[in-house]
Amino acid sequence: MPRRQFLALGGSLAGASLLGGCGLFSMDPKKESSGGAGKKGLQSPILDDRVKSGALPPVEQRLPTKPRVIQPLQQAGIYGGTLQTGDVSTDPSWMWMTVTHDHLVTWDPGYSKIIPNVAESFEIVDNGKEYVFTLREGMKWSDGEPFNADDLLFWYKEILLNKSLTPVVPSQLKVGDKPLTVEKLGEYQVKFSFPSPSALFLEQLAPHGPPFRLMPRHYLEKFHKNFNKSLPDDWAETFLQKMDELENVDLPVLSAWIPKNPHGDGGRQVWQRNPFYWKVDADGSQLPYIDEVVFTFLEEGPFLLRLANGDIDFYQRAEITVPKNQPVLSEGQKAGDYKLVKLKDPNHNTIGICFNLTHKDATKRRMYQNKDFRIGLSHAINRQEIINLVYLRQGEIWQTAPRPDVPFYDSDDFGKQYTEFNLDLAKQHLEKAGYGKLDERKRRLGADGKPLVITVLCQSRYPDMIDAMEFIKRTWSQVGVELRIDTVSSELVSTRMDANDYDCTLDKGEVGYLDLLGDPRWLFATGGSSYAPLWSRWYEGGTPNEEPPEAMKRQMAIYRQKVFASTDKDVQYAGIREIIEIARDEFWTMGISLPGQPFAVVSNRMHNVPGDDQMWLSFKAPYPAVTNMTQYYIQ
């Protein structure tokens, strides 16, 4: 969804010439990123002068009574330095997964259980009908003002329940059409209550994109009509801008680092340490160890060169750390003084192909909803060719089905169905779907007598998808279907999806492991789905919407009754198996292959960073944030 709405709820190597003469990026990353040195005290030395002058209170007055204690992975670190990272797009999710991820709860570093974070503790009551959070006494926002239960009450009463700011309550915050309630039990204690059990609530607070974000009442009140009657009628637009932590550098935050310039301000954003951060190491020294994090935004070619040159300290994103770039990055390890760290992968597919099953054009909607039409095009994909040439022989042919190693589904029928590359079989299914007529150029004709043309939206930040679609374009043309590839930004894809104005789009096959319990987007149309926006809105309660077919309504009911409403894993697993079987039969979307071995690029001067197979390429358990990046340090 658009970032403002979300906040309310919570190139080629030729491009390397852009770096000629340094220009905009004239800094020397290695010099700028020099690590700290000297004996570690209770705070970063860069704060000493501010404390001595009285501009900052002593560190013991800046910490809560019971700060969260983080045990360093290898050893206690030293203060100082700048961590250099970045991305090939301005998509903010990499920031949310690194410098800004601090919510009431989080996943533990091993991705095995939910643990307290901002909250000192939590209690689950009545099978998930109620959740009581105890906050940390004395905890402060980045401007030194207190953080307490009033901030959560402000979010609930003045943001969530305000139709101008939250026109639709997110599905994670309601059961059916009844939203949760939030009650203040004390200065540092709040209770979240649902009309009936919401067993996955904690898991839904833990991703990089939770259903709400913690907001500072003391700062935002002056931009809210209920507290400032002099505001104009269009105050809500300004309010949403003010609560945007990436663009509004004045917004107090709880994160370890604070932005010093807006996200959209040029090709670089700098984040500096929060002097009121509320985590400490085992010695009682305030975290983070690293003083500054710098994000540089470049096209793929220049960014790949910076990685291979050792100018990036840490990076793990599927835009760059993909099989085709692995030889270059592997070869550069010694000269660039970095290493490649193997990651675990919860994702089920390299590419999810999503036809718009609720297309605004009635003729196209009927065509895309026709299962035989989708099966025919699936048989017209040479998946092994794509694996060999795009993914360098890494991966295995697979549909958009749960990973074969999930603990609640042990059949490969779903993953392997309709994956045989067979053009004769493809033609049979297309003819069965009603598209048997061809013109003189052997192009298949639609119900309107015109040649079938499908335009697919490819996000420019995923070059592997663009390459793969060129192969699919060729084989689909052999069965009489023309494919046009429209390479666009991720922001434009979101805009087109919101408007229900697209034929087909592509998405990474994320949430294919335990994370699909809390986010079943690939099993039926829900928040985050790319293949049926009107059905998704029907489920979420948004408008405009369209009632889904009976099979999908049955999936939605099972999810609410068994998966969403029980904390018993056996009941949850039984329910999700039923949903998977329906998804297999209906074949809503199609995929290409299981991903190959993902990896991260880690500078050798970075320490306390987990090693091989200790991190996941996941955003539901947002790595690397859950590994406690505040205890990373630079030597």
pLDDT, tens digit (0-9, with 9 covering 90-100), for 110-165: 998 999 999 999 999 998 999 999 999 999 999 999 999 999 999 999 999 999 99
Dist CA 511 CA 200 (whole Å): 15
As a whole-number percent, the residues of the chain with pLDDT over 70 amount to 94
Region class of 294: left (phi > 0), else alpha (psi between -120 and 50), else beta? beta
Dist CA 98 CA 94 (whole Å): 6
pLDDT band at 39 (very low <50, low <70, confident <90, very high): low
Which amino acid appears at position 619 of this protein?
F
The pLDDT assigned to 92 comes to 79
The three-class DSSP label of residue 257 is strand
Q: Answer yes or no: is pLDDT of 324 > 70.
A: yes
Dist CA 504 CA 456 (whole Å): 5
Alpha helix ranges (H) inside 9-147: 29-32, 48-53, 59-62, 93-96
Q: Answer yes or no: is pLDDT of 308 > 90.
A: yes
Q: Check for a shared fold between 3-343+599-634 and 349-594.
A: no
**What is the CATH code for 349-594?**
3.10.105.10
| Model confidence pLDDT, tens digit, residues 220-273 | 999 999 999 999 999 999 999 999 999 999 999 999 999 999 987 878 999 999
The three-class DSSP label of residue 191 is strand
The pLDDT assigned to 565 comes to 87
**Which residues have C-beta within 8 Å of that of residue 152, sequence separation ≥ 6?**
182, 184, 190, 214
476 in Cβ contact with 447 (< 8 Å) = no
Region class of 23: left (phi > 0), else alpha (psi between -120 and 50), else beta? left
* Mean pLDDT within 320-340: 92
* Mean pLDDT within 284-293: 97
| Model confidence pLDDT, tens digit, residues 413-463 | 999 999 999 999 999 999 999 999 999 999 999 999 999 999 999 999 888
As a whole-number percent, the residues of the chain with pLDDT over 90 amount to 78
Dist CA 129 CA 557 (whole Å): 18
Tokens 């991705």 correspond to 111
Q: How far is CA 124 from CA 127, 133, 143, 196, 199, in A?
A: 7, 9, 32, 13, 9
| Model confidence pLDDT, tens digit, residues 76-107 | 999 999 999 998 876 778 888 899 889 999 99
Tokens 């301005």 correspond to 90
The pLDDT assigned to 317 comes to 87
The residue among 138, 137, 150, 148 whose CA lies nearest residue 62 is: 138
Decide: residue 335, CB within 10 A, 0-12 exposed, 13-18 middle, 19+ buried.
Answer: exposed
Instruction: Tell me whether strands 82-87 and 292-297 are parallel, antiparallel or unpaired.
Output: parallel
User: Per the omega criterion (within 30 degrees of 0), is the bond before 288 cis?
Assistant: yes
Dist CA 277 CA 363 (whole Å): 56
pLDDT band at 38 (very low <50, low <70, confident <90, very high): very low
Helix (H) or strand (E) holding 355: strand 349-355
CATH topology of domain 3-343+599-634: D-Maltodextrin-Binding Protein; domain 2 (3.40.190)
**Which residues have C-beta within 8 Å of that of residue 398, sequence separation ≥ 6?**
348, 349, 415, 416, 419, 591, 592, 593, 594
Tell me the residue ranges of DSSP E strands in 387-537. 396-397, 453-459, 482-488, 504-509
62 in Cβ contact with 218 (< 8 Å) = no
User: Facing residues of 591 across strands?
Assistant: 352
Dist CA 104 CA 190 (whole Å): 11
**Which residues have C-beta within 8 Å of that of residue 116, sequence separation ≥ 6?**
68, 104, 105, 122
The highest-confidence range among 386-395, 582-591, 615-624, by mean pLDDT, is 582-591
Whether the model pTM is above 0.95:
no
Dist CA 11 CA 383 (whole Å): 25
Lowest mean pLDDT among 183-187, 318-322, 532-536: 318-322
pLDDT band at 1 (very low <50, low <70, confident <90, very high): very low
The residue among 540, 468, 478 whose CA lies nearest residue 506 is: 468
Dist CA 291 CA 155 (whole Å): 30
What are the residue boundaries of the structural domains of the chain, listed by start?
A: 3-343+599-634, 349-594
77 in Cβ contact with 289 (< 8 Å) = yes
The pLDDT assigned to 90 comes to 67
The pLDDT assigned to 514 comes to 85
Tokens 């002056």 correspond to 222
The pLDDT assigned to 17 comes to 31
Q: Answer yes or no: is pLDDT of 3 > 80.
A: no
* Mean pLDDT within 453-477: 95
Q: Answer yes or no: is pLDDT of 10 > 60.
A: no
**Count H helices, E strands: the chain?**
22, 26
Q: How far is CA 229 from CA 8, 221, 237, 241, in A?
A: 21, 11, 16, 19
pLDDT band at 27 (very low <50, low <70, confident <90, very high): very low
Q: Answer yes or no: is pLDDT of 34 > 70.
A: no
For the chain, the helix, strand and coil percentages under 3-state DSSP, each to the nearest 5: 35, 20, 50
Phi, psi at residue 30, to the nearest 5°? -70, -35
Copy the structure tokens of residue 9. 């709820």
pLDDT band at 347 (very low <50, low <70, confident <90, very high): very high
Mean pLDDT of the chain: 91
